[in-house]
Amino acid sequence: MLIHATVQRRHAMTFNTPMPMLPLAKRVGILLAGLLTCGTALAGDVLAPKGVVELFTSQGCASCPPADAALKKLVMQGDVVALSYHVDYWNYLGWADTLSSKENTERQYGYAHSLGRSGVYTPQAIINGREHVKGADLAAINGRMDQLKTGGMGLSVPIAAEVKGDEMEISLPPGQGQADIVVAYFTKREMVDVVRGENSGRQMEYWHSVYDVQTVGMWDGKALKITLPVRTMGQSKKDGCAILLQTSRPGGAPSAIIGAAIVMAGPKREP
Grouping H, G, I as helix, E, B as strand and the rest as coil, residue 195 is: coil
With 0.85 as the threshold, say if the pTM is over it: no
Task: Please tell me the distance from the alpha carbon of residue 98 to that of residue 93, in angstroms, as a whole number.
Answer: 14
Residue 154 has pLDDT above 70, yes or no: yes
- Smallest CA-to-CA distance from 130 within 257, 271, 263 is with 257
In this predicted structure, what is the pLDDT of residue 190? 94
Helix orientation angle between 138-150 and 65-77, rounded to the nearest 10 degrees? 50
Cα–Cα distances (Å) from 91 to 9, 82, 237, in that order, read 16, 24, 22
Per-residue model confidence as pLDDT tens digits over 42-72: 457 888 899 999 999 999 999 999 999 999 9
Q: Between residues 92 and 7, which one has the greater pLDDT?
A: 92
Pick the CATH number of 22-268 from 1.10.10.10, 3.90.650.10, 3.40.30.10, 3.40.50.10320: 3.40.30.10
Q: Give the largest CA-CA distance in the chain.
A: 52
pLDDT of residue 185: 86
Contacts of 31 (CB under 8 A, 6+ apart): 183, 214, 216, 228
Query: Cis peptide before 158, with omega less than 30 degrees from 0?
Result: no
Pair type for strands 254-264 and 240-248: antiparallel
CA distance 178 to 30: 22
Residue 212's nearest CA partner among 104, 112, 109 is: 104
Distance CA(58)–CA(97), nearest Å, equals 6
How many other CB atoms are there within 10 angstroms of residue 16's CB atom? 7
Q: Where are the beta strands (DSSP E) in 100-221?
A: 119-122, 124-127, 131-134, 160-164, 167-172, 179-194, 202-219
pLDDT bracket for residue 228 (50, 70, 90): low
- The number of beta carbons lying within 10 Å of the beta carbon of residue 225 is 9
- Find the range with the poorest average confidence among 23-27, 83-87, 129-133, 253-257: 23-27
The confidence score (pLDDT) of residue 166 equals 62
Using CB atoms within 10 Å of the CB of residue 263, give its burial: 0 to 12 exposed, 13 to 18 middle, 19+ buried: buried
Determine how β-strand 80-86 pairs with β-strand 51-57: parallel
Q: Examine the pLDDT at 74 and tell me if it is beyond 70.
A: yes
